[in-house]
Amino acid sequence: MSGSLHRRLRCCLLGIMTLLAMQFVILVLVVRLGLIDELISRRLLLQQQQLSLHQHEWQDFVTHTPDQPHAFYQYNRQLSDNLAAVRLLPTTRHESCNRRRYALPHASLAKLSVVISFHNEARSMLLRTILTLISRTPQEYLHELIVIDDGSEDVGLLASLERHLTAAYAERGRPRLIFSRNLNRKGLIWSRNEGARLASGHYLLFLDSHCEVNDGWLEPLLERLTLNSRLAVSPLLDPIEPETLSYMAGNELLKGGFDWSLHFHWLPRVLADKETLAQPYTSPVFAGGILMISRESFRKLHGFNPHLEIWGGESIELAIKLWLCGGQIEIVPCSRIGHIFRAAHAFEFPPQYDQEQELEQELQQLGSAQATYLRNSKIIAESWLDEYKYLFYALKPSAREIPLNLRPVSTYDPAQIKAELKCQPFDWLMRHVSPELRLQHANLSALGTLRNAGRCLHVAGTVPQLQLLLTSCHSLQVTQWHLHHESGQLSTEQRLCLAVDAAAKQPQLSLEPCRAGQTGQHWLRRNTQLQHARTHLCLDNPLKDQLLLSRCRPHAVSQSFQFALEMEAQS
């Protein structure tokens, strides 16, 4: 009997030891796969959600959202209303980011102030932005949250938001909550400057109001700023699809840039030797308006240019100022924040000019949004582009007619800032930060709008249903053309080339992707004519707005096409 009991005990002990060994092996595998951080973060997230608004309070806040059409928000508001306030997000950053231990300063030396300005945002989307921020940011670093309502039509939103958030987070003592409402629309730029003025933390984070903060977003940014106080850093933005609200991984091989129209563009990131996708990398411009910077650096730069109105160009202006005046911009792929890139503005721009003011026809036909953006771009060109501003005016001739009417702002004078901070000339940025700007015009014979009899050559529609036509030159969206010196290609900013199928019985004009060595895409500049090199036919507009190819006729008005800027003498 005792021998049987002994055998049973030995079997039980062996079973327990086997089970413990299996658990140890599983734990090792989990650690090796870099999943332990994710498991911990999800457990913490569930705990943090208990500190957030209770579900009935969340629904009470959301159900008071005004019923507006889809175009009002530019994303699926109903789906947003039905999603959880804080949902689990996929881990989109490189697995090496999850294993890293970041060298962070003591929280008392790195207090973070977050500024969120919004105008006509859906309640559920705004609250999701705020709750993901609070839930996924280490409590000891999140010093304060500054929320500014820029004159939204939902007049009760801010008071209700303040009531709910204060009730939910008052006991924690952090973050400090500051709410402010502009009685009249003052714009994103003014509101962000005001938020920075109200802030008391060591660092500022400017965050859009239609975001979702992912796990571990702060530590990689804070480490970079600790290592270099002159940096401004941006997370890598993960796109949130506006209709399905699906959260997708962003692209580590893109950086932000701009062209001579002062429009933002994504540029390819070229990896250096032994550089990994997870490493921080410099970028000429930050994207999505999301940026973290020391409050002292922002103050020295005098913030966003207060002469810029409402929205448009502020990120490019601040980026140029940062680079030229001793700073740098980095994108940090280990930091991820989801962002909805809307197809259009979900708000209207207020009228910019007195209707009694007599303006040129081009200015009169610009919409208020276009006029605001163009005016802001003109201010940037006049302030920072130096001798290269002629390229901006070549691409945006309407800007010449826009009056600046700058309001007196005693603390903001670009010339004074340049002298005070010993800023570099714009040519320095082209040589050291954005060499692609120099390449854009170095090999061009002509660029800008292409006019014939007061109308502009324009590409309408989308691939594959593109249409080539002549249209009003008064829109900001009118196509900008580049005539390349060596290849003779006539291309758009989207790298579509005007082409001719010379083998066809009746040669026809078409648009196709630009490819090197394509004889069908080769054009010659003959005075003001555009002659196709292979067929020797000229671009013609014999009937109103009907483009075709015909025999070249000297001095024919219908064949006279004028670029906004000719880079070399016409032959």
Number of domains in the chain: 2
From its phi and psi, is residue 216 left (phi > 0), alpha (psi between -120 and 50) or beta? left
**Percent of the chain whose pLDDT exceeds 90:** 54
Please tell me the least confidently modeled range out of 469-473, 481-485, 566-570: 566-570
Pairing outcome for strands 112-118 and 203-207? parallel
Q: What is the mean predicted confidence (pLDDT) over 200-224?
A: 97
- What dihedral angle (degrees, nearest 10) is formed by the CA atoms of 542, 547, 551, 554? 60
Pick the closest to residue 480 from 446, 507, 530 (CA basis): 446
> 180-202: b or e for each residue (b if 16 or more CB lie within 10 Å)?
eebeebbbbbbbbbbbbeebebb
Beta-carbon count within 10 A of 79 CB: 13
Instruction: Tell whether 207 is covered by a domain.
Output: yes
Burial of 309 (0-12, 13-18, 19+ CB in 10 A): buried
pLDDT at 46 over 60: no
Pick the closest to residue 565 from 359, 257, 260 (CA basis): 260
Same domain, 469 and 331: no
Considering only residues 346 and 284, tell me which one the structure prediction assigns the higher pLDDT: 284
pLDDT reported for residue 55? 61
Instruction: Tell whether 211 is covered by a domain.
Output: yes
Q: What is the mean predicted confidence (pLDDT) over 218-228?
A: 97
Instruction: Tell whether 529 is covered by a domain.
Output: yes
With cut-offs at 50, 70 and 90, classify the pLDDT of residue 253.
very high
Considering only residues 44 and 481, tell me which one the structure prediction assigns the higher pLDDT: 481
Q: Write out pLDDT tens, residues 496-520.
A: 999 998 777 788 898 999 988 788 8
Instruction: Tell whether 256 is covered by a domain.
Output: yes
Q: What is the mean predicted confidence (pLDDT) over 403-407?
A: 73
* Domain span holding position 171: 38-94+107-339
With cut-offs at 50, 70 and 90, classify the pLDDT of residue 248.
very high
Domain boundary among 318, 339, 360: 339
Q: Write out pLDDT tens, residues 187-196.
A: 999 999 999 9
Same domain, 327 and 461: no
Same domain, 327 and 452: no
Instruction: Tell whether 437 is covered by a domain.
Output: no
What SS3 class is residue 93? coil
pLDDT reported for residue 30? 44
What SS3 class is residue 8? helix
Same domain, 334 and 450: no
**Percent of the chain whose pLDDT exceeds 70:** 83
Same domain, 136 and 265: yes
What distance in Å separates the CA atoms of residue 60 and residue 15, rounded to the nearest whole number? 53
Please tell me the least confidently modeled range out of 5-14, 201-210, 469-478: 5-14
pLDDT at 65 over 90: no
Instruction: Tell whether 230 is covered by a domain.
Output: yes
Q: What is the mean predicted confidence (pLDDT) over 482-490?
A: 91
Q: Where are the alpha helices (DSSP H) in 325-434?
A: 361-364, 368-384, 389-395, 414-421, 426-432
pLDDT at 298 over 50: yes
Largest CA distance in the chain: 119
pLDDT at 347 over 50: no
Considering only residues 475 and 54, tell me which one the structure prediction assigns the higher pLDDT: 475
The angle that helices 2-32 and 36-51 make with each other, rounded to 10 degrees, is 80
The structure's pTM equals: 0.78
Listed in sequence order, the residues at least 6 apart from 128 whose beta carbon sits closer than 8 Å to its beta carbon are 80, 83, 85, 86, 212
Considering only residues 342 and 151, tell me which one the structure prediction assigns the higher pLDDT: 151
pLDDT reported for residue 77? 92
Asked if 539 and 516 touch (Cβ cutoff 8 Å), the reply is no
pLDDT reported for residue 311? 73
**Highest mean pLDDT out of 56-70, 321-335, 544-558:** 321-335
Same domain, 136 and 268: yes
Mean pLDDT of the chain: 84
Q: What is the mean predicted confidence (pLDDT) over 487-501?
A: 90
pLDDT reported for residue 223? 97
DSSP element (H, E) containing 195: helix 188-198
What distance in Å separates the CA atoms of residue 216 and residue 38, rounded to the nearest whole number? 10
pLDDT at 8 over 90: no
Instruction: Look up residue 401 and give its DSSP letter.
Output: G
Same domain, 165 and 292: yes
pLDDT reported for residue 312? 79
What distance in Å separates the CA atoms of residue 289 and residue 260, rounded to the nearest whole number? 20
Same domain, 452 and 330: no
Same domain, 166 and 289: yes
Domain boundary among 314, 339, 364: 339
Asked if 93 and 101 touch (Cβ cutoff 8 Å), the reply is no
Same domain, 465 and 317: no
Instruction: Tell whether 65 is covered by a domain.
Output: yes
pLDDT reported for residue 123? 94
pLDDT at 361 over 60: no
With cut-offs at 50, 70 and 90, classify the pLDDT of residue 408.
low
CATH of residue 116's domain is 3.90.550.10
With cut-offs at 50, 70 and 90, classify the pLDDT of residue 363.
very low
Q: What values do phi and psi take at 370, rounded to 5?
A: -65, -45
CATH of residue 507's domain is 2.80.10.50
Listed in sequence order, the residues at least 6 apart from 340 whose beta carbon sits closer than 8 Å to its beta carbon are 75, 125, 210, 211, 239, 240, 242
Instruction: Tell whether 381 is covered by a domain.
Output: no
pLDDT at 39 over 60: no
Q: Which residues pair with 510 in a beta bridge?
A: 499
pLDDT reported for residue 5? 58
Domain boundary among 312, 339, 366: 339
With cut-offs at 50, 70 and 90, classify the pLDDT of residue 549.
very high
Q: What is the mean predicted confidence (pLDDT) over 359-388?
A: 75
Q: Which residues pair with 460 in a beta bridge?
A: 467
Q: Write out pLDDT tens, residues 446-471.
A: 888 899 988 899 998 877 778 888 88
Instruction: Look up residue 119 and give its DSSP letter.
Output: S
Same domain, 325 and 462: no
Please tell me the least confidently modeled range out of 101-110, 341-350, 487-496, 552-561: 341-350
Encoded tokens for 164: 């709910």
Same domain, 266 and 142: yes
DSSP element (H, E) containing 154: none
